[in-house]
Amino acid sequence: MSWKPEVEELARRRAMALEMGGEEAVQKQHDRGRLTVRERIGAIADPGSFHEHGPLAGHAERDENGQLVDFSPANYVLGFARIDGRPVVLGGEDFTQRGGSPSPAGLRKSVYSEDLALRHRLPLVRFLEGGGGSVAGAAGNASKSGARKTATPPPRTAPDAAFGAPRFLSIARVLRTAPVCSAALGAVAGFPAARLAASHFSVMTRDTSQVLIGGPALVARALGEELTKEELGGARVHSRSGVVDNVASDEQDALDQIRRFLSYLPTNVDQLPPRVTPDDDPERCEEALLEIIPRDRRKIYKMRKLLAGVVDRDSLFELRAGYGRSQITALARLNGQSVGILANDPAIYGGSMGAEGAQKVRRFVELCETFHLPILSFVDEPGFMIGAASEASATIRYGVDAIVAVVESTVPWISIHVRKAYGVAAAAHFGPYGTVLAWPSAESGALPLEGGVAVAFRREIAAAEDPDAKRKELEEKLSRGRSPFPRAELFGVHDLIDPRRTRPALCEWLAWSEPLLAQRLAGRPTR
């Protein structure tokens, strides 16, 4: 009277689960240029580290004698794994079954992934491909041969019960607890698209993924707009919409970006970010920094080149480069320690902050605040973007939101004033009680020089025989009085430094700031 028959069925079911939607469905997935969910897990997890939860969840068919005929696994794969030695929760839709639209067990497993990450306080990595609930889904499961099964499946979990407020509460709690990363690796619509947005880091593949609230058929029926998936939600749309943080060249690049993002962050909010052994001299001084800021105020320079000359070599990882482009947000390392980088890009509207840039800054500051990342702000802010388009996009509203996030932050903060700091927008670049270092090229005031001259001397310029010459004369005269030395003399900055000494100065500041990070974990942030 052994249990061998049941054990043999267990082994058979496990083997069937690994087949997913069957050989033909897997081949179609490959033909689309996409990996299966199990291949994605294998590509990002440390070898042999994946421990699956619920491998036997699914729908079984038996003959009249009760013998197992077929088994369709839940179309969501989930489990523990390690990435670069650190534990995570991995999960993703299996597109080879039902096109990723959740089966009853698949839905329960996807919901459980957030609960599992929350309970164990581990990073959550999602591979998204498919839609939410399907009108046709209640008709039954698809067999591995692709035919629709006629047997009645178990009762479906009501989508509203899983996708309502309680589900979003769990998602919100995970976001406050541990890093959440999501990759759109095919067409992602409905609730999976919401999951993508509810992430600390989101990435989509350039040529094989789309992110949609509603697909082409729904849009055409509701609005009469005839658009393809790519036109509605392809990478060209969402690299500029702000829905995703980054766009990857292919699936492997997307997985590599997730791995890199996680490397800067702690396992959860109860830990400090991991520190790596630095391979870059903290005393390194870049001669190019002495000349990178042009003396001609109208000329631009390459801010990313400036940043690369300061942080650890090859450690700069930019986020949302295509959105709010006048503001640069990135993760980096300084002497092996993870830091957040804020900067202005003078090549885009002079670096001025618009509505999108303000939202980008707020979101990034909140990320650093959640995961204890010191912030390094490289300031070249001419002020809020002006003009009709800026007013219509509510720049001042979103700008104030960004400033509030900055002044309420408690992470260590240092600002390197490299050029301009004008108007209200400048407040978004100087943390409360933060250290301020200035370069000799730094200038500040209520308005940029050109705008201030145009306003203050409007009548004098208009009355001049040559208004343009008069304006230029006034600008040159006033610019000579904008030296940063008086600010240093009045202790308006904490130090005026040689630009070449920026990296050593920041490494020294970071060493002195380490106790502040420890105090944050102890619940005693120092302001």
Q: Mind listing the pLDDT tens digit for each residue in 103-161?
A: 888 888 888 999 999 999 999 999 999 876 655 554 444 455 444 343 344 444 444 44
Q: Measured at the alpha carbon of residue 304, what is the angle toward residues 278 and 325, in degrees to the nearest 5?
A: 130
The superfamily (CATH) of domain 287-442+484-521 is 2-enoyl-CoA Hydratase; Chain A, domain 1 (3.90.226.10)
Cβ atoms of 377 and 259 within 8 Å: the answer is: no
State whether the Cα torsion 36-38-42-45 is positive or negative: positive
pLDDT of 13: 84
Task: Specify whether the CB–CB gap between 408 and 431 falls below 8 A.
Answer: no
The mean of the pLDDT values for the chain is 88
For residues 338-343, average pLDDT: 98
**pLDDT given at position 15:** 87
Q: What does the pLDDT average to over 368-392?
A: 96
pLDDT digits (tens, 9 = 90+) for 248-296: 999 999 999 999 999 999 999 999 999 999 999 999 999 999 999 999 8
Q: Which of 143-152, 236-245, 293-302, 492-501 has the lowest mean pLDDT?
A: 143-152
Closest to 377 measured CA to CA, from 322, 458, 313, 442 = 442
- Stronger pLDDT, 275 or 473, i.e. the higher one: 275
Count of CB atoms within 10 A of residue 405's CB?
19
Q: Is 453 helix (H, G, I), strand (E, B) or coil?
A: helix
CA angle at 165 for the pair 162 and 167, rounded to the nearest 5°: 40
Q: Are 67 and 34 in contact (CB under 8 A)?
A: no
Contact, 93 vs 130, CB < 8 A? yes
Q: 């790596």: which residue's tokens?
A: 276
- pLDDT band per the 50, 70, 90 thresholds, residue 495: very high
What pLDDT was estimated at residue 376?
Answer: 98
Q: Return the pLDDT at 136.
A: 53
What's the pLDDT at 492?
Answer: 85
pLDDT value for 345: 98
Q: Which CATH number fits domain 4-133+150-263: 3.10.450.40, 3.40.50.800, 3.90.226.10, 2.60.120.10?
A: 3.90.226.10
Instruction: Work out the average pLDDT over 95-100.
Output: 84
For 200-216, give one letter per residue: b (16+ CB within 10 A) or e.
bbbbbbeebbbbbebbb
pLDDT at 479: 63
Helical (H) or strand (E) element with 506: helix 502-521
CATH 3.90.226.10 segments of the chain: 4-133+150-263, 287-442+484-521
Statement: the pTM of the whole predicted model exceeds 0.75: yes
List all residues 6 or more positions away from 15 whose beta carbon is below 8 Å from its beta carbon: none
| Tens-digit pLDDT profile for residues 430-470 | 999 899 999 999 988 765 655 555 666 677 777 777 777 76
**Confidence (pLDDT) at 149:** 43
pLDDT at 524: 62
Distance in angstroms between the alpha carbons of the first and the last residue of the chain: 71
How does residue 409 score in pLDDT terms, banded at 50, 70 and 90?
Answer: very high
Q: What is the pLDDT of residue 210?
A: 95
What proportion of the chain, given as a percentage, has pLDDT over 70? 88
**Closest to 144 in 3D by CA, of 75, 57, 65:** 75
- Rounded Cα distance between 443 and 456, Å, is 18
User: Binning pLDDT at 50, 70 and 90, where does residue 474 land?
Assistant: low
The secondary structure of 211-278 as a DSSP string is EESS-HHHHHHHH-----HHHHHSHHHHHHHSSSSEEESSHHHHHHHHHHHHHTS-SSTTSPPP----
Using the predicted structure, report yes or no on whether residue 173 has a pLDDT greater than 60. yes
Task: Place 41 in a pLDDT band, splitting at 50, 70 and 90.
Answer: very high
Report residue 103 CA to chain centroid gap: 29
pLDDT (average), residues 350-354: 96
Which pLDDT does position 526 carry in this prediction? 58
How is the chain split among helix, strand and coil, in percent rounded to 5? 40, 20, 40
Query: Looking at per-residue confidence, does 472 or 320 come out higher?
Result: 320
Q: How confident is the model at residue 386 (pLDDT cuts 50, 70, 90)?
A: very high
Give the separation between CA 319 and CA 343, rounded to whole angstroms: 12
For the chain, state the CA radius of gyration: 27
Q: Which amino acid is at 351?
A: G
Minimum mean pLDDT range among 60-69, 234-243, 289-298: 60-69
Q: Residues 248, 203: contact at Cβ < 8 Å?
A: yes
Confidence of residue 518 (pLDDT cuts 50, 70, 90): confident
* pLDDT tens string 422-441: 989 999 999 998 999 999 99
- DSSP character for 70? E
Q: What is the pLDDT of residue 140?
A: 43
CA gap 458, 455 in Å, rounded: 5
Report which of 351, 326, 410 is spatially closest to residue 375, judged by C-alpha positions: 410
Q: Which residue has the tokens 């400090």?
A: 272
